[in-house]
């Protein structure tokens, strides 16, 4: 039977263009409601389950997203892989606006977010291995497809996950850079670890929508971010369209 791919869309990807919508499913979870109903659809003949991370309309800030409910709901409806799409700031010199990064590592700077399923009334304490937070095979497919559709992309990158919702200071970005981060975003964690805890292969398509704070002399404006989303989200859609048939 064909596998079901889960896609979590972020800023700029509240809906999937070209998605033939079959049904909306409300899922209740032990952790409350997911950010949106699950949209069941066909994209170029492939079945997928889509959640809009910030809700539709876009209203839930990154630190208030119910990551546990989103991942639990996707597992519950039977997805076998998850692709998280997110908007990020570029730190690495080659990762400017409209560039797509398929990160291979992350550093978590978030705090106060419920970030595990393994707490509360447990039978035993569980520590999962998280050495390599993104699924190797899923990343490989995304990288191959990015190459095929000629998207400007990088097949490596350390994702620094910050708390938000404010953007960073220039000094914070310097610190992230010293730590080895190549891109910075607010939603990469705990999404990745929750997928790992439920043993769902997970990878990200990160679209750079601005240079990170202090990387240029300009301040970061929402207008610039919106322009970069308009320029770059087409690449993300093209990669998804190419990747989905390969993944099923």
Residue nearer to ligand HPA on the CB measure, 70 or 206: 206
- Least Å distance, CB 3 to ligand HPA, is 30
Residues that bind ligand HPA (CB under 6 A): 87-89, 162, 167-168, 184-186, 209-210, 212
Q: Which is nearer to ligand HPA, 100 or 244 (CB)?
A: 100
Cα distances (Å, whole numbers) of residue 210 to 79, 133, 134, 206, 227: 32, 24, 23, 12, 10
Q: What is the DSSP string of 219-237?
A: PP-HHHHHHHHHHHHHHHH
Task: State which residue, 48 or 212, has the beta carbon closest to ligand HPA.
Answer: 212
Comparing CB distances to ligand HPA, the nearer of 193 and 212 is 212
Nearest distance in Å: CB 220, ligand HPA: 6
CB of 162 to ligand HPA, least distance (A): 5
State in angstroms the smallest separation of the CB of 14 from ligand HPA. 15
Alpha carbon distance 72, 30 (integer Å): 9
The conformation of residue 32, written as its DSSP 8-state character, comes to: B
Residue nearest to ligand HPA (CB): 89
Tokens representing 132 are 């390599």
Residue among 109, 104, 30, 99 nearest 66 (CA): 30
């Amino acid at each position: 039977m064909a596998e079901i791919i889960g896609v979590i869309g972020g800023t700029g990807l509240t809906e999937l263009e070209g998605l033939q919508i079959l049904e909306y499913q409300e899922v209740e979870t032990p952790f409350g409601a997911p950010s949106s109903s699950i949209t069941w659809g066909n994209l170029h003949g492939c079945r997928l389950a889509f959640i809009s991370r910030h809700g539709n309309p876009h209203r839930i800030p990154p630190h208030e997203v119910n990551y546990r409910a989103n991942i639990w709901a996707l597992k519950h409806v039977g997805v076998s892989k998850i692709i998280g799409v997110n908007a990020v700031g570029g730190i690495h010199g080659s990762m400017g606006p409209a560039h797509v990064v398929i990160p291979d590592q992350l550093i978590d700077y978030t705090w106060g977010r419920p970030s595990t399923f393994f707490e509360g009334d447990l039978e035993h304490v569980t520590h999962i291995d998280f050495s390599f937070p993104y699924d190797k095979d899923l990343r490989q497919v995304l990288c191959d497809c990015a190459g095929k559709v000629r998207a400007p992309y990088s097949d490596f990158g350390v994702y620094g996950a910050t708390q938000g919702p404010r953007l960073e200071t220039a000094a914070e970005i310097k610190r992230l850079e010293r730590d080895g981060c190549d891109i910075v975003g607010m939603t990469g964690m705990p999404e990745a670890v929750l997928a790992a805890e439920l043993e769902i292969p997970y990878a990200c398509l990160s679209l750079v929508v601005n240079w990170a704070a202090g990387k240029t002399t300009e301040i970061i404006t929402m207008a610039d971010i919106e322009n970069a989303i308009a320029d770059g989200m087409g690449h993300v859609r093209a990669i998804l369209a190419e990747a989905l048939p390969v993944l099923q």
